[in-house]
Structures are given as C-alpha cells and as structure tokens.
C-alpha cells in the first residue's frame, strides 16, 4: 500500500502555532495534472483533507498509550483513542472551510498541517455521511 502525493500544503508555517490552527489560511497546491479533478469542488463549503504527517518521527518504538493532548495530568489512553500524530500510519484528517479554488489551488481555513505537508486525498464534506448528531465523548474531551 503505497501513497503518492496529489499535492502539497503551502502556508509558510514551520511549527504548530501556539494559538491553534483555527484562523490559519493555507493553500493546497494540487499537482497540475489533477487540476480538472477539482472541478465542482468549489460548490462545497467544506472539504476533508487527508495528509501525510511527514515530520512525525516516533524515534524508535511507537507508544501504545499516550497522555491525551500531551497533558501529563491526564491518565494515558490508547493511541487510537487520541488524535496524536504519532501513530502507525501518520495520516491526518482535517475538515476545513474552502475559501476559493483557482485552477489547481485550493485556499482553505483551519488546516492543521505545516508547510510542505504532502496531501494524499481531498474529499467533499457530506453532512449526512461525515457528521453525527449527539456523539458521546469522554470527560477528558468535554472538560478540556
């Protein structure tokens, strides 16, 4: 199972910003050979971006348990119960607002990926399929 980059993130950001990614505007520069494959995407207000977290390095054995959000005061939980980037397949998934599409370039808000991140897929966000009403989460999420 081999992935190929379909594009790259451009936002000039080299480190995750302390204030979060909420307001960060990024460009997704899609390979120009795939520009036409974006036709119609501009009719969606939001898109799902799958990307390869290329700068995540486990530095040896991957932990099976981690402190949620790196907070030492929280009891460790299983890696798959968190969104830690440090996972067996470092694939990130973000739902972001699409501001504009020009040819092979998408301008988006809130993509939590640093400059140079390879993009592996772009999907339209479908409310009925991608969202859940009244989903239950543990207290360490609701209390954060």
Interface positions with its own copies (CB under 8 A): 1-6, 30, 34, 36-41, 43-46, 48, 50, 52, 54, 64-65, 77-83, 87-89, 91, 93, 95, 97, 118, 120-127, 129-132, 135-138, 141
Closest CB 93 distance from its own copies, rounded Å: 6
Q: Which residues pair with 49 in a beta bridge?
A: 94, 122
Q: Which class for 49: exposed (0-12), middle (13-18), buried (19 or more C-beta within 10 A)?
A: buried
Closest CB 114 distance from its own copies, rounded Å: 16
Q: What is the rounded distance in angstroms from the CA atom of residue 121 to the CA atom of residue 104?
A: 14
Closest CB 14 distance from its own copies, rounded Å: 20
Closest CB 100 distance from its own copies, rounded Å: 14
* DSSP codes of every residue in 23-63: T-EEEEEE-GGGGGGGTTGGG-SEEEEEEE-TT----SSPP
Nearer residue to its own copies within complex by CB, 29 or 50 = 50
């Amino acid at each position: 199972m081999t992935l190929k980059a379909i594009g790259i993130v451009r936002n000039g950001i080299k480190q995750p910003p302390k204030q979060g990614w909420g307001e960060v505007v990024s460009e997704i520069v899609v390979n120009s050979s795939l520009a036409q494959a974006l036709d119609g995407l501009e009719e969606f207000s939001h898109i799902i971006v799958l990307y390869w977290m290329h700068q995540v390095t486990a530095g040896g054995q991957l932990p099976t348990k981690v402190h949620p959000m790196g907070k030492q005061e929280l009891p460790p939980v299983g890696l798959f119960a968190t969104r830690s980037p440090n996972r067996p397949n470092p694939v990130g998934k973000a739902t972001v607002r699409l501001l504009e599409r020009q040819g092979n370039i998408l301008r988006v808000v809130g993509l939590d990926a640093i400059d140079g991140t390879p993009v592996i897929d772009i999907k339209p966000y479908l409310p009925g399929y991608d969202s859940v009403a009244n989903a239950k989460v543990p207290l360490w999420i609701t209390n954060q």
